[in-house]
Amino acid sequence: MMASLPPPPPPPSFHTSLLTATDCRGHVHLILGSSPLAAARANQSLSAGATPVLIAPRTSTPLHHGVQRHVDSGALRWLRRDFDDADLRTLGRDATDGFVDAVFVTGTGAEEAARISGLCRRLRVPVNVADSPALCSFSLLSTHSDGPLQVGVTTNGRGCKLAGRIRREVAASLPPGLGAACARLGDARRRVQEEDRAAAAVAAATATEKAERAARGDLDDSVDQTAAFNRLVAAGSDYKAAKNRRMRWLAQVCEYWPLKRLAAVTDADVDALLESYPGGISTTAAAADQPPSPSPSPRLGRIILAGSGPGHPDLLTRATHKAIQAADLVLADKLVPAGVLELVPRRTPVRIARKFPGNAERAQEELLGQALEGVLAGRTVLRLKQGDPFVYGRGGEEVDFFRRRGLGARVVVLPGVTSALSAPLFAGVPPTQRGVADQVLVCTGTGRQGRAPEPPEFVPSRTVVFLMALHRIVGLVRELTTHVEIESEGEVSGRKEEAAGIDGPASRRLWPLDTPCAVIERASCPDQRVIRTTLRFVAEAIEQEGSRPPGLLVVGGACEALYTPEKGRSWTVEDGFEGLGLDDAFVPGIAELA
Ligand code: SAH
């Protein structure tokens, strides 16, 4: 079937640029020519905090009004003469020995523009020539600015109109207020750092004072010193732990919160964010451990434990959608897709789990405490989980939690489309296919307390889907393909004893290094990415391509059931999600436009 297809067209050739953001405050920018473009360049230069200098001879025609306005206000210095090569070396700042920081050529003849461009390049002065990409050492992006947030687009010389259009569409898709949110979260980050520095200084000063008092004999060794010492250690480690937790929490908020929610961040949110989670469980979680009410009363509310699917909101079940409409309170896990949270009516409060490595237990307690409070107060609480609630979603534990409190009858569980089976589908990998794979194993790459779980044995007709595995891909591949001792001592010895009854650990069948595999990230989200490779290269591919959580790993021949790898390539990357193919939107083709 593949042989009858025509060969694919050769990929278009193009170059891409290194996109950077230049802090231009105090820089001197030369603008040559007085066309309307000069006004635009002066505006851009001024808004980036630079000092533009215009060089253009006095002519009988008046300056463009935009340029004139800047000259009149004193923001733009106008040298009324022709450009002189020495200007490049003399009009700049002392800090750059008089060299200017950038040159914008806006209105000279082509030959002169080429000459100036060559001169600038020789002197390492960045140069931009209007409408001549070949003469530019840098180009300007079509930008959207909102407070400290800037989004820039370039087509690398393929058309600024197109770049402008794309920039507008990108900007329009961003929620209002995102710039202010960047500023707020940036402040929060700075505050965390400052508080941490201050805490470190206090800890150090206290230690010194204690040491000095001890040296002077002010401390009664037997009574105080060890206690003081212990306290200090505890204070130090507490502060370090708190610091880690806050920074991680902040990072995770930025990674996982829906942009809309991020854009609506308030000062109160930031204050909550900066809570340092001192030891012990939170007050709401403590309430969770109160004695249960003996039997459900008519005043009790309900808990709906529902799966929200892998990402695309159309993958919600109708049941979960109904639950979203009906809930009085939504308690969502961190990974619940943004598109799903957007379906929650505005009146319904939404809380997102503060889950990050090292805080999973606490986040879980916090949410369960809130859920319990809600149900006891007669509310319908929706516990929204990503994918399916019973597939690595702690759904079973939650049901158990409510049962033990006599609330089992108040719990409803609704399934969701699990990423374990749908992510492969969206990557074109059928986990079972006759003649290729007749079994699917879903497992986790991370065991309890971060330990490595037992690696699954190689079975040629088996497809293995690893969730929560990509962060330790190197170890995982090693365990699958070689006989290694597993990280945790307890587990290793346990396994040895158990294995002794059979053939010993070396009998586990290993996965060949050329077993096909695929890394599927953010399946069914607009930024879905699929890396197709083999076990030999998968760790290197992830290291080079970076990660885009959440993602999973599929291993087995099924990865090549519908896909033929390109010869000579260690891996391929497919970026973007084609959608479900059900959109109603009608986009006219060229024929309709004609
Ligand atoms: N209950 C969820 C799984 C929760 S465990 C479900 O049924 O899908 C979280 C792991 O699921 C992540 O570490 C990742 O491995 C996987 N995952 C979740 N959503 C994903 C997605 N959209 N694309 C790829 N992997 C995903």
Q: How confident is the model at residue 231 (pLDDT cuts 50, 70, 90)?
A: very low
Is the per-residue pLDDT at 128 higher than 50?
Answer: yes
The rounded Å distance from CA 294 to ligand 1 centre is: 37
Tokens of 536: 């030999």
Is the per-residue pLDDT at 515 higher than 70?
Answer: yes
CA dist 155 and 161 (Å) reads 10
Q: What are 150's strand-pairing partners? A: 145
Q: State the pLDDT at residue 223.
A: 33
| pLDDT tens digits, 142-196 | 999 999 999 999 998 888 889 999 999 999 999 999 999 999 888 888 887 787 7
Q: How confident is the model at residue 242 (pLDDT cuts 50, 70, 90)?
A: low
Above pLDDT 70, what percent of the chain? 82
**Top-confidence residue, 73 or 298:** 73
The rounded Å distance from CA 188 to ligand 1 centre is: 29
CA dist 473 and 509 (Å) reads 19
| pLDDT tens digits, 96-110 | 999 999 999 998 888
The rounded Å distance from CA 200 to ligand 1 centre is: 38
CB 311 within 8 A of CB 522: yes
If one residue of 320, 467, 530 were mutated to test the ligand 1 pocket, choosing by the most ligand atoms within 8 A of its CB, it would be 467
Q: How confident is the model at residue 482 (pLDDT cuts 50, 70, 90)?
A: very high
DSSP 223: I
Pairing between β-strand 142-146 and β-strand 411-414 as defined by DSSP bridges: unpaired
Q: State the pLDDT at residue 267.
A: 77
Ligand 1 lining (C-beta closer than 6 Å): 310-311, 335, 385-388, 391-393, 418-420, 423, 467-468, 520-524, 550-552
The rounded Å distance from CA 521 to ligand 1 centre is: 9
The rounded Å distance from CA 90 to ligand 1 centre is: 59
**Top-confidence residue, 269 or 556:** 556
Is the per-residue pLDDT at 207 higher than 80?
Answer: no
CA dist 70 and 42 (Å) reads 8
CB 441 within 8 A of CB 431: no
Residue of the nearest CA to atom 11 in ligand 1? 467
| pLDDT tens digits, 276-294 | 444 332 333 333 333 334 3
Most confident stretch, 212-226, 238-252, 450-464 = 450-464
Most confident stretch, 48-62, 461-475, 501-515 = 461-475
Q: State the pLDDT at residue 149.
A: 96
Q: Averaged over 475-481, what is the pLDDT? A: 96
| pLDDT tens digits, 308-355 | 999 999 999 999 999 999 999 999 998 888 889 999 998 899 998 876
Residues with Cβ within 8 Å of residue 11, at least 6 apart in sequence: none
**Top-confidence residue, 8 or 549:** 549
Is the per-residue pLDDT at 234 higher than 70?
Answer: no
CA dist 312 and 315 (Å) reads 6
CB 556 within 8 A of CB 463: yes
Above pLDDT 90, what percent of the chain? 58
Is the per-residue pLDDT at 442 higher than 80?
Answer: yes
CA dist 54 and 67 (Å) reads 9
CA dist 549 and 337 (Å) reads 12
Q: State the pLDDT at residue 219.
A: 45
Q: State the pLDDT at residue 108.
A: 81
If one residue of 552, 554, 555, 577 were mutated to test the ligand 1 pocket, choosing by the most ligand atoms within 8 A of its CB, it would be 552
Give 246: exposed, middle or buried? Use CB within 10 Å, 0-12, 13-18, 19+.
buried
If one residue of 256, 419, 522 were mutated to test the ligand 1 pocket, choosing by the most ligand atoms within 8 A of its CB, it would be 419
pTM, full prediction: 0.62
CA dist 310 and 385 (Å) reads 10
